[in-house]
Structure 1
Amino acid sequence: MTTAAGTPIPRFPDGFLWGVSTSAHQIEGAADRRERSVWDVFTAEPGRVKDGSTAAVACDHYHRYREDVALLAGLGVDAYRFSVSWPRVRSGDLDFYDRLVDELCAAGVRPVPTLFHWDLPAGLDWLERDTAARFADHVTTVAERLGDRVTRWITLNEPAEHTLLGHALGTHAPGRRLLFDALPVAHHQLLAHGLAVRALRAAGATGIGIANSHGPTWAASQEEADVQAAQFYDLLLNRLFADPLLLGRYPDGLGELMPGDVASDLKVIGEPLDWYGVNYYAPTRVGAPQGTEIEFGGVTMPAELPFSVRQIEGRPVTDFGWPVVPEGLTELLTGFRDRYGDRLPPVVITENGCAYEGLDDQDRIAYLDGHLRALHRAIEAGVDVRGYFVWSLLDNFEWAEGYARRFGLVHVDFETLTRTPKASYGWFQEVLRAQRGA
């Protein structure tokens, strides 16, 4: 079809997987039907969420899932990535996910569950090694219940952000400000991932991956201090979470900072993956520390960090203040191919999207259009990419931003819970029809 760029989106390979993503805490609501999570505790503390809201009701997907599955079917996606709430499973309510998966299968939409998307049960702590073992038990429970209908699994979502924002900077749940003392959180999540892979394999599952957030890191200048700061940032946000999974080792100097028998743990963390999920939003421009706190993209960066995040000039920005840089996706994927070679399994873009207001969301259309073209260029360059998921189906509870940022293809009126497809929904629907030759 003709798009915002004036020319049709290039044709993707046959069998390419098209989908949209959500997460349990952000859309389900029905908080009274599950145990409390660290996010329930966090949002109950005054000042933690910018608009003072909680996800107690959110989009009420728990009760309206049939309506939402109909939206998925109408959109024409192949797959739906959702997350399974660990607190809901602990409360004994796996029936909801049974119903959801059945509804998806009946609609011809492949279920792609994420087994942890930040809503850690209250009382558990990623600083404790035992949490990884408890997660493996959770995974076994879910796999035994849903495994007869699920052919693609995601263990964790964005352990980098959960570590950085939740435990190092304190802007997300559980609200800790540990800075580099948060490194054990990263290690225990990676260990949990490896144990989850083993649990899934033991349950007969295939199609196992992870959803990691990644983006190119650009030095603010060629000055040595800026280059070194950018390299360190890239180490923390990209390689710390990819190297152990794909190479079976931490980057130099980081393994020594991790708890426990790291060499033994790395054998678990490096369990082979069937595919590797990438969540991409934008590159990050990084320079030497400036000695002051910096507000960037809704996050306050402390002055004591050994780097500072800078704005990428000359680019449009989303309502979140994130720069729109589609070519960064091509750069990221070709860079991953060059760094990891044959250790990199097939890639799926598990999240890509943007925050904009309005039903006639032409900025979102332009964003998605540009990123699909950038993704196609990566495939043309030889990167084995097998799928693409838009974030997100619905406007939702956007963590510490509350309901102030809208990422959905479908507008949600949070007073009436009415769903209204936006212009971007219709645009993506037409893209999918064109990709299938319809």
Structure 2
Amino acid sequence: MAFTFSRGDFPADFRFGAATAAYQIEGTSFGRVGSTHWDTFAAGPGNVVNGEDGRVACDHYHRWGEDLDLVRDGNFDVYRFSTMWPRVMPDGRTVSAEGLDFYDRLVDGMVERGLSPNLTLYHWDMPSALADLGGWTHPDVGKWFADYTEAVIGRIGDRMDAVATINEPWCVAWLAHFLGGHAPGIRDIRAAARAMHHVLVAHARSLEVMRSAGQENLGIVLNFEHSTPASEDESDVLAAKTYDGIYNRWFAGAITGGAYPADILEVLEPHMPQGWQDDMAAISAPIDWLGINYYTRSIHEAVPGAVWPAERAVPGDLPKTAQQWEIYPEGLYGFLMRLQREFTGELPIYVTENGMAGADPGDAGLVDDPARIAYFDAHVGAVKQAIADGAPVKGYFAWSLLDNYEWAFGYDKRFGIVHVNYETQERTPKGSYLAFQRALVRD
């Protein structure tokens, strides 16, 4: 089974990549890594499927050369990776030479293979020592993150093609501090409001450090989810708008326009840190590109009499992934056009994550994943159409290179285009990997 697109269908400077995240693949039991809030969150009953954590993951710490070969041999241009904060600073403050040495070797390996390194500084691995102090709710977290940024960029910044400060602030703040579904697993509106602001302050402080160091091509990665009302009833329309405000407009509006959406701020402002308004100019400092992660849509209905946001998601009737996320490529097209129209103008956009979880049984020989091939084909097609209609999309990165630790879902959900046998760590390219390999052949 093959894709209907090829590299030649896109502008000459369009870039294809594969993406991973440090905690999900490296293995925290290898090298000197401090405890993270994901280790302790996973130790809580019911927080993570089977109580699984990232101690071994995909053993990328030892197998990184093999994994980079897969990126190169798949004909990808870019490898999007992240550094692990507690590997660089095990106690959250003291720099580990051993940790930086690992990332130095890793980046050299990318360059040697002709891959462009695309770094994300934070992909959800807060050191436990800082989480003990309040983590993303603490007013000094921006300074902590700036110090971490300085350590990483000082060592590997010279070889970076692009750097993102933070991956998916909605997950870092709202999912983790209001819904409680990610580490640290808090369900408190005051903690959530502060995290929603402080994560953007940390982005701003990190950006300042990198600009001062002369680092170029800087951005942030936001996740977007298409929000659909369950009916035309006014209450359902408002429910979908509220979800859109928390998930999409809060972060996009602050980053690109220096303002939070009024309808959401009205509720969260009493819980925001004092003087938050003074941070908005720094939060909206110019970036060089915006990364968007897109997977699905959700349908929302009002819940009369419930505590704000008084809405809930209801099942839709579209085909679904193994994670029960609806497959809706039209939503990706819609966001690419909406961002240009409402937020970013001609700012370059990269689709930094897009992919689907599948069952993907077996590990002997080829792992066939026709549903994933169809998913990628439809979503890359949506990107192609958005470019044709004027959206400044400059790249597309598949999530993920490897099956890996899928956070609260443990190792149960497989997003990889390469199958990983977690017992033997054997890598087996799936049909989707081979489809990319064929489609991305260079003339």
TM-score, normalised with respect to structure 1: 0.93
Which residue is equivalent to 2:334? 331
Q: Does 1:361 align with 2:359?
A: no
153-162 vs 24-33, which moves further: 24-33
One-letter amino acid of the counterpart of residue 254, structure 2: P
Q: In 1, Cα distance between the equivalents of 2:43 and 2:370?
A: 36
What amino acid maps onto 2:35 in structure 1? R
1:95 aligned partner: 101
**Alpha carbons 1:290, 1:308 under 8 Å: kept:** no
Pick closer, same or farther for the CA change 1:304–1:368 going to 2, 3 Å: same
Corresponding residue for residue 49 of structure 2: 50
CA distance in 1, matches of 2:183, 2:276: 26
Query: Which residue in 1 is equivalent to 2:260?
Result: 250
| SS of match in other structure, 1:47 | coil
Deviations 1:169-196 (A, max 9, x none): 1121111111464111010000000111
The one of 9, 17, 20 equivalent to 1:19 is 17
CA–CA separation in structure 2 for the residues paired with 1:105 and 1:290: 56
SS in 1 for 2:118: strand
Which residue of structure 1 aligns with residue 223 of structure 2?
213
- What is aligned with 2:434? 426
**What is the SS of the residue equivalent to 1:276?**
strand
Deviates more, 1:97-106 or 1:84-93: 84-93
Q: Does 1:404 align with 2:409?
A: no
Report SS of the residue matched to 1:26: helix
2:130 matches 1:126: no
Tell me the equivalent position of 1:262. Answer: 276
In the alignment, which residue of structure 1 is the partner of 2:363?
none
Deviation of the 1:17 alpha carbon: 1.2
1:396-420 CA distances to partner (integer Å, 9 max, x unpaired)? 0000111000000100000011111
Please say if 1:378 is aligned against 2:386. yes
Other structure's SS at 1:31 match: coil
Q: Which residue of 2 aligns with 1:296?
A: none
Deviation at 1:54, TM superposition (A): 1.5
The answer to whether the 8 Å contact 1:29/1:60 transfers is yes
Stretches of 4+ moved more than 4 A in 1? Answer: 7-10
Partners of 1:151 and 1:205 within 8 A in 2: no
Amino acid at match of 2:380: L
Aligned counterpart, 2:285:
271
> Does the aligned pair in 2 maintain the 1:362–1:423 contact within 8 Å?
yes
Q: Is the 8 A contact 2:224 2:293 kept in 1?
A: yes
Distance 2:334 2:407 in 1: 28
Q: For this pair of structures, how many residues does the alignment match?
A: 421
- The equivalences for 1:192-341 within 5 A come to 192-253=202-263, 254=265, 256-257=269-270, 258-289=272-303, 305-313=309-317, 315-340=318-343
**Paired residue type of 2:181:** T
Worse-matched range after superposition: 303-312 or 113-122: 303-312
2:77 is the alignment partner of 1:78:
yes
Kept in 2, the 8 Å contact 1:169–1:179? The answer is no
CA contact (8 A) 1:9 1:369 kept: no
Deviation per CA, 1:45-72: give whole Å up to 9, x if none: 2322112211100000011101101111
The CA distance in 2 between the partners of 1:290 and 1:401, in whole Å, is 31
Corresponding letter in the other structure for 2:199 = Q
- Where in structure 2 are the equivalents of 1:184-195 lying within 5 Å? 184-195=194-205
CA contact (8 A) 1:35 1:90 kept: yes
Name the Cα RMSD after superposition: 1.7
Q: Please, what TM-score do these two structures have when normalized by structure 2?
A: 0.92
Q: Distance in 1 between matches of 2:3 and 2:283?
A: 42
Gaps of 5+ in 2: 91-95, 361-366
Task: Please tell me whether the aligned partners of residues 256 and 344 of structure 2 are also in contact (alpha carbons under 8 angstroms).
Answer: no
Structure 2 equivalent of residue 298 of structure 1:
none
Alpha-carbon distance, 1:4 to partner? 5.3
Counterpart Cα distance in 2 of 1:10 and 1:369: 15
Task: Give the C-alpha shift of residue 291 in structure 1.
Answer: 7.2
Distance 1:88 1:212 in 2: 24
Q: SS in structure 1 opposite 2:50?
A: coil
1:212 counterpart SS class: strand
Q: 2 CA distance for matches of 1:374 and 1:252?
A: 31
Once the two structures are TM-superposed, the CA of residue 9 in structure 1 deviates from its matched residue by: 7.7
Which residue number corresponds to residue 299 of structure 1? none
Percent of paired sites with the same residue: 43
